[in-house]
Structure 1
Amino acid sequence: MSKRATFQHSRRPSVSRVRGAVVAAGLGTTMVLGAGAAFAAGAAASAPDTASLVSTAAAESVAKQATVQGKAAQAAKQAVAKKAAEAKKAAKRAANLATSWEAPVSHYQLSASFGNDGSRWAHKHSGQDFAVPIGTRVEAAHSGVVVKAGPNGGGDGPAYGNAIVIKHSNGMYSQYAHLSQIDVRIGQAVQTGEKIALSGNTGNSSGPHLHFEIRHTANYGSAVNPVMFLQKEGVTV
């Protein structure tokens, strides 16, 4: 064998060496791929479940909305209950006003009483006088309908000055005379305590006061003792 042939033979890799290199390369690739797969698997295991997060968030949103709606429904229920209670109280007050009586003025002094004799009256005094300053608020002693209102005693004569007569549901009438101002008209419904006039000194009057009568009819001559009548209705003057 020549030297050239010997040299060429020495540079040719052996089959066993080539096979070893291929095997080593394959193992390296497998190890790299295996490590990558393991890392991907670990990352997937540690990453949160997106579908689960979305589901949880949706559930929390629904629960929050339900809570808000529940509070709104409760508030609406309370508002309805409050309005019902207020309406009940208002109806009770209206019922009390419809059945109650009161004095026609406040902060007064009693002057001429029912049945008094004197030169100021053609007959005995037909009502109760409440001494008050001119312009004092005059209120309806009971709910009813105005049947007389105007000068000349509303039709009962000039001695009464400006006057009002109210018809009540129990068949009785109340009269308010010597007024400086009339704030109601014939046919108007009024409630207990409602302002109907201002006191004055008109007609046959010896000084500022309100002349108050309780009558069986709308006309002069049918009066009863107003103080005793009010006492029977629970009003002390």
Structure 2
Amino acid sequence: MLIGELADLAGTTVRAIRHYHAEGLLPEPIRDSLGYRRYGMADLTRLVRIRQLRDAGLPVDRIPAALSGDLTAHLDAFDAELAEQERAIALQRKRIAELRGSTVELPERVVGLYDHLAANGVRADLIELDRQAWQLVATTAPGLLAEFDRMLAAPQAREQWLDLALQLQDGTGDPAELAGRLTALLPKFPEADDLPPAVRKLIATFLDPFNQVQHEVTTRVTGVDLP
């Protein structure tokens, strides 16, 4: 049969057959007196198998070994690779789903506190830094954020936070006294010794823009030594 007939019977194209010849997947057949390739049943059988392997996703460079060796063993190995890829993809999709649901919306009282601080002279960058800190806490220890929200319901809590924030912002006041007031306004955080080194480093990096009083107050409250 001619190349066009072979392509029709195998459900492929003449171009694909020529490509398989070039890649060494399909041996060149004998040619007739006019120079046309003449294919037989063995060529058709091999071509169908090549197309099936390609449809299954087997890379071209692995097809010769699969056809000349233990086909089942090659297919089992490839199937195991696909199964591992499926597990990796499933894990990626799980993480994507988790990220979709991880958008942190701070409680209304916390948002109201930030609005109150902004309206009364607390710098926007410090408010944003604190907001980011609580969003980070919410993803790792949501109970602390819930407790902070509950504590903000106490009478005068917003005014106490405002007075404290302004003193910390200005770098005025006694650090020990300010630390005591801040501790009273916050939920109980884990002891510094219980914090992983990475978290300690994160705290130090996060508070890098703060002034000396803020550094000292934070050190007293968290127990984390800042540079």
**TM-score (ref. length: structure 1):** 0.27
Structure with higher Rg: it is 1
Name whichever structure is richer in helix by fraction.
Answer: 2
Q: What's the TM-score, normalizing by structure 2?
A: 0.28
Between Structure 1 and Structure 2, the one with more strand by share is: 1
Point out which structure has higher relative CO (alpha carbons under 8 A, 6+ apart): 1
